[in-house]
Amino acid sequence: MDTNLSSYTRLPDQPTAAPNRRPVKAIAGIFLSILLLSSLVAFILNNGPRDAPNNVPKSQVLPETWMPPSRGVEQGVSEKAFREYSGMDPEYNWTNTMLAWQRTAFHFQPQKNWMNDPNAPLFHMGWYHIWYQYNPDSAIWGNITWGHAVSTDLIHWLHLPIAMVPDHWFDSNGVWTGSATLLPDGQIVILYTGDTDDYVQVQNLAYPANLSDPLLLDLVKYEGNPIMVPPPGIGMKDFRDPTTAWVGPDGKWRVAIGSKVNTTGITLVYQTTNFTSYELLEGVMHAVPGTGMWECVDFYPVSTTGRNGLDTSVNGPGIKHVLKASLDDEKKDFYALGTYDTINDKWTPDDPELDVGVGLRVDYGKYYASKTFYDHNKQRRILWGWIGETDSEYDDLMKGWASVQTIPRTVVFDVKTGTNILQWPVEEVEELRRNSIEFNGVELAPGSIVPLNIRSATQLDITATFEVDKEALEGVLEVDVGYNCSTAGAGVRGALGPFGLIVLADHSLFELTPVYFYISKDVGGGYKTFFCADEIRSSLALEVNKKVHGGMVPVLDGEKLTMRLLVDHSIVESFAQGGRTVITSRIYPTKAVDGAARAFLFNNATGVSVTASLTVWEMKSAYIKPYPFDDI
């Protein structure tokens, strides 16, 4: 059916070009050698402080008004405030040094203020572009515009002027998430959600004013916006986040949009020939009962036979399609592999038990609103994701910024398992490596911890391999069928785990973040391997969220257990088995900062010894600065 635009009339005398805007001053000012230590690890991990001890710096109890209000929900987007903090716990007395240390060195983030979803990533005339949801006025959500930055390598970034601001009736309450599509003739189409003056979610069209400009500094909003409005049966606040478009066998372009019907998450599909008029296709592309609102939907092909990425329109033999949704109710990103029927525009999961929202997570940590794009420059698919904050808004206002983006990751189909994707940091991040140190054949007896003698543990790239004593593994009789990362932690000992790495720890292990494997044995004698990251003792601050994240990771016969960690101040990105399972940790140390940060190997299993080998690189900082317009 054709979307009815009659009730949405463009306001007269509105400019159609989104003016460049430089951020204004924040509304809320800124407030201010290897030694084996046998048998210690069990005591440390089990008996260390879970909350702040009596000797923490002087704290203050915030007034109840500091309980953060809900942000975004009334306008129809996912909750943007971290509300697990009540405002009544003692607020940690952060120093300027601690807050400055939290800022990352090689992850992308604006110079100041709030950021959330990555938008419309693409490659154009030698530059990678990332737009993003941005509040130019404060370190909390609101007044959402599109920030903009460019890079030649996805690591070093140059900030550009704001790209789009909420200056039309069709986006006056927010220029929300969107995607870019590169057309065969070189044109660039940007579709984004606007929150109208009466709080209705509509889809809008924008495009570069000058395609010959490598920086794409000026985006023009189509004068006929909105181009799509909520269809009958869809709530006015349940219609958002258009995908990158793909072309079908009939030559028409398709765009998917997330929504819901009652508690069923759905993906709607529209088709178009000109990107200004759209037809809603019958039915839905896919629906999963009980998963609630789907936002930031992503849909793309992966090759089952090669390692290169694929353009979004590619289909045929040797291809599966990934359908991903960010679940508003859970604030988690789920995906599934399946088959796309191009004739009926329907998608079917390979395994209904691993359907979207009930099976595989893109990332098991603090991670949301992910977005991919096809990098035709290097024939790869690149994934971005938003790392939100889990401290208090008061803390964010003090430090003057909130949120970072993950290191961009490549995405490919896992040809070995056939059941999942593989995510891996883009190769360009390895250019930041320096001063590597190798530790080979480190024997970890049950209940042991080994300090790693490295100069600095704040910015690291670590690759590690763990081998479990096979004879001891097969001899274990203990059955462990109920293990779950989220309900256990590094201090919960089993016959076959946990063991792994501890990062961002102080020398006394008062603060620490373990990243580890845990092997459980089932009644039938089989094994399941879990990959977890434990934040419970990552910080002495009471107001920050501290959980254990993770999930199962497939391990095939004959494979060693492997992990890679990117440590960047207050962010740890962890990849198991080549990226089958990924965890992003957002942490706020108070003691393990700057030169005080340490790293360790540990084995807290009771029944097996583990041999570890690893390489540790210190990481240089990335160059992330404003674009040098004055030098041109």
**Tens digits of per-residue pLDDT, 366-421?**
999 999 999 999 999 999 999 999 999 999 999 999 999 999 999 999 999 999 99
By DSSP bridging, strand 157-164 and strand 624-626 are parallel
Q: Is 579 in the same domain as 480?
A: yes
pLDDT higher than 80, residue 42 = no
Q: What is the DSSP letter of 244?
A: P
By DSSP bridging, strand 175-182 and strand 499-505 are unpaired
pLDDT higher than 80, residue 304 = yes
Q: Is 310 in the same domain as 358?
A: yes
When divided into structural domains, the chain yields a total of 2
Q: What is the CATH number of the domain that holds 394?
A: 2.115.10.20
Whether a cis peptide bond, with omega within 30° of 0, leads into 226 is yes
Q: Is 329 in the same domain as 477?
A: no
pLDDT higher than 90, residue 620 = yes
Q: What is the DSSP letter of 102?
A: H
In a domain, 453, yes or no: yes
pLDDT higher than 50, residue 53 = no
d(CA 170, CA 209): 20
pLDDT, residue 16, reads: 38
pLDDT higher than 80, residue 270 = yes
Q: Is 235 in the same domain as 312?
A: yes
In a domain, 2, yes or no: no
pLDDT higher than 90, residue 481 = no
Contacts of 540 (CB under 8 A, 6+ apart): 49, 52, 53, 56, 92, 510, 511, 590, 591
Catalytic residues: 117
Q: Give the lowest-confidence range in 83-92, 162-171, 495-504.
A: 83-92
pLDDT by residue (tens digit) across 145-177? Answer: 999 999 999 999 999 999 999 999 999 999 999
Q: Is 343 in the same domain as 287?
A: yes
CB neighbours of residue 47 within 10 Å: 9
pLDDT, residue 7, reads: 36
pLDDT higher than 90, residue 477 = no
pLDDT by residue (tens digit) across 445-461? Answer: 999 999 999 988 999 99
Q: Is 606 in the same domain as 525?
A: yes
pLDDT higher than 90, residue 75 = no
Task: For residue 384, give the nearest of 358, 399, 363, 400 by alpha carbon.
Answer: 363
Q: Is the distance from CB of 156 to CB of 624 less than 8 angstroms?
A: yes
In a domain, 412, yes or no: yes
d(CA 230, CA 196): 12
In a domain, 77, yes or no: no
pLDDT higher than 90, residue 15 = no
pLDDT higher than 50, residue 19 = no
d(CA 266, CA 269): 10
Q: What's the predicted TM-score (pTM) here?
A: 0.90
In the predicted model, what is the mean pLDDT of residues 473-492?
Answer: 85
d(CA 140, CA 112): 11
Domain finish residue from 361, 391, 425 = 425
Question: Is 254 strand, coil or helix?
Answer: strand
- Rounded mean pLDDT of the chain? 89
In the predicted model, what is the mean pLDDT of residues 507-529?
Answer: 92
Q: Is 262 in the same domain as 279?
A: yes
Residue whose entry in the numeric block shows the structure tokens 């076959």? 496
d(CA 230, CA 170): 13
Domain that residue 241 falls in: 112-425
Give the confidence band of 631 by pLDDT, cuts at 50, 70, 90.
Answer: confident
Task: For residue 102, give the nearest of 428, 463, 400 by alpha carbon.
Answer: 400
Domain finish residue from 425, 444, 463 = 425
Q: Is 448 in the same domain as 367?
A: no
Q: Is 388 in the same domain as 337?
A: yes
d(CA 424, CA 550): 17
Residue whose entry in the numeric block shows the structure tokens 């399609």? 321
pLDDT higher than 80, residue 299 = yes
Question: Is 588 strand, coil or helix?
Answer: coil
Q: Is 550 in the same domain as 471?
A: yes
Give the confidence band of 59 by pLDDT, cuts at 50, 70, 90.
Answer: very low
Give the confidence band of 68 by pLDDT, cuts at 50, 70, 90.
Answer: low
CA max distance for the chain? 78
Q: Is the distance from CB of 471 to CB of 611 less than 8 angstroms?
A: no
Extract long-range pairs of 2-8: CB within 8 Å, 24+ residues apart: 2/277, 2/278, 2/279, 2/280, 3/228, 3/229, 3/231, 3/270, 3/278, 3/279, 3/280, 4/229, 5/226, 5/229, 7/229, 8/170, 8/196, 8/200, 8/202, 8/226, 8/229
In a domain, 13, yes or no: no
Q: Is 546 in the same domain as 565?
A: yes
Task: Round to the nearest angstrom and report the end-to-end CA distance of the chain.
Answer: 50
3-state SS, 348-378, equals: EECCHHHCCCCCEECCCCCCEEEEEEEECCC
Domain finish residue from 405, 425, 445 = 425
Give the confidence band of 73 by pLDDT, cuts at 50, 70, 90.
Answer: confident
Whether a cis peptide bond, with omega within 30° of 0, leads into 349 is no
Q: Is 605 in the same domain as 485?
A: yes
In a domain, 443, yes or no: yes
Q: Say which residue, 480 or 193, is predicted with more confidence.
A: 193
In a domain, 104, yes or no: no
In a domain, 598, yes or no: yes
In the predicted model, what is the mean pLDDT of residues 93-122?
Answer: 97
Q: What is the CATH number of the domain that holds 534?
A: 2.60.120.560
What is the Cα gyration radius of the chain? 24
Which parts of 305-431 are beta strand (E)? 319-327, 332-341, 346-349, 360-361, 368-375, 380-387, 401-402, 404-405, 409-413, 421-425
pLDDT by residue (tens digit) across 323-340? Answer: 999 999 999 999 999 999
Number of alpha carbons in the 13 Å side-chain half-sphere of residue 411: 32
